[in-house]
Amino acid sequence: NPLRPIVICTWDFMNASAKAWEVLSRGGSALDAVEQGVMVEEADVDNQTVGVGGRPDRDGNVTLDACIMDKDGNCGAVLYLQNIAHPVSVARKVMEETPHVMLAGKGAEQFAYEKGFKKVRLLTEKSSQEWQEWKKTSEYRPIINIENHDTIGMLAIDQDGNIAGACTTSGMAYKMAGRVGDSPIIGAGLFVDNEVGGATATGVGEEVVRTVGSFLIVELMRQGKSPQEACEEGVRRIIAKNKDHTDFQIGFIAINKQGETGGYCIQPGFTYRTYSEVGHRNNPASSYIT
């Protein structure tokens, strides 16, 4: 029996997955579910890795990356977007209302205003203070796990059996100005193929981009691997390219057309949430390093 509708997301994002489930359970599309789901985290000022309240780059600017992909393989992304609260919704507009897939920086911001998005201040007092504190040493080192408050990647299957996905982040805290990670890159931070399944990532984006992680996982599922096996192979590819994989984290989650899910990571600590008619739960992902 296929388990769908179903939603799965990175980390223990209870409210975001509940929102997506609410959309799915009243017959909404997977696309609406993932957009409205991740918007919950974009709006949450206490999540310092997504949307409003995100940690800034080393110059003190909060810059957001997001993408979205639908059942027909359409996709939209915004990169290095400032002053806008809901980058995933701008990404959806790029997908649906432009001939392009990606808009970056000032162009993306201008497009958002044209579509009626309001200018907001993304930097909160808390994130600003932490940044001032960070500047005293200016030591850049990605933090391995920040459980519950991290990048959100979400995949959903609706009652018609269609799959969609979204991913949204403020990127690595104190990154260089202009840096873009994996999260808005189709194939890296997110990939959906409605015939097969979907995958999405969290962690050090540079490593996910180098292996085109989410696309790889979907292709592995196409060749017959389960979502769990495909996520494990995705992590192994990254490890194979990094002798020193002890000091960074990558987490992948995946779903196949049947509604089976999986998740795998390098370091212990990564979890993912699932929500379906059999209930909702936070699943600890198994890890390469135990």
Footprint on this chain of ligand SD4 (rule: CB under 6 A)? 49, 150-151, 169, 171-172, 181-183, 202-205
Residue at shortest CB range from ligand SD4: 205
Taking the CA atoms of residue 281, residue 18, residue 231 and residue 236 in that order, the dihedral angle to the nearest 10 degrees is: -90
Annotated ligand binding at 38? The verdict is no
Annotated ligand binding at 90? The verdict is no
Sequence-distant (≥ 6) Cβ neighbours of residue 82 within 8 angstroms: 61, 62, 63, 64, 105, 109, 122
Instruction: Please state the closest distance from residue 49 (CB atom) to ligand SD4, in A.
Output: 5
The single residue of 49, 124, 151, 211 carrying the catalytic annotation is: 151
Annotated ligand binding at 78? The verdict is no
Distances (CA, A) of 276 to 6, 25, 137: 5, 9, 45
Instruction: Please state the closest distance from residue 42 (CB atom) to ligand SD4, in A.
Output: 14
Report which secondary-structure segment, H or E, holds 252: strand 250-256
Could you give the CA distance from residue 172 to residue 224 in angstroms, rounded to a whole number? 34
Select 29 or 183, whichever has its Cβ closest to ligand SD4. Answer: 183
Select 39 or 253, whichever has its Cβ closest to ligand SD4. Answer: 253
Annotated ligand binding at 179? The verdict is yes
Give alpha helix (H) positions in 184-226: 205-211, 213-222
Instruction: Please state the closest distance from residue 238 (CB atom) to ligand SD4, in A.
Output: 12
Of 17, 74, 255, give the one whose Cα is nearest residue 157.
255
Annotated ligand binding at 23? The verdict is no
Select 111 or 248, whichever has its Cβ closest to ligand SD4. Answer: 248
Select 169 or 271, whichever has its Cβ closest to ligand SD4. Answer: 169
Instruction: Please state the closest distance from residue 181 (CB atom) to ligand SD4, in A.
Output: 3
Distances (CA, A) of 14 to 4, 26, 32, 50, 256: 18, 18, 17, 15, 22
Block residue for tokens 């135990």 = 290
Select 181 or 234, whichever has its Cβ closest to ligand SD4. Answer: 181
Annotated ligand binding at 204? The verdict is yes
Instruction: Please state the closest distance from residue 151 (CB atom) to ligand SD4, in A.
Output: 3
Of 213, 221, 176, give the one whose Cα is nearest residue 194.
221
Sequence-distant (≥ 6) Cβ neighbours of residue 221 within 8 angstroms: 196, 197, 199, 227, 230, 254, 256
- Structure letter (DSSP) for residue 118: P
151 assigned to active site: yes
Binding-site residues from annotation for substrate:
179-182, 202-205
Binding-site residues from annotation:
179-182, 202-205
Query: Which residues are catalytically annotated?
Result: 151
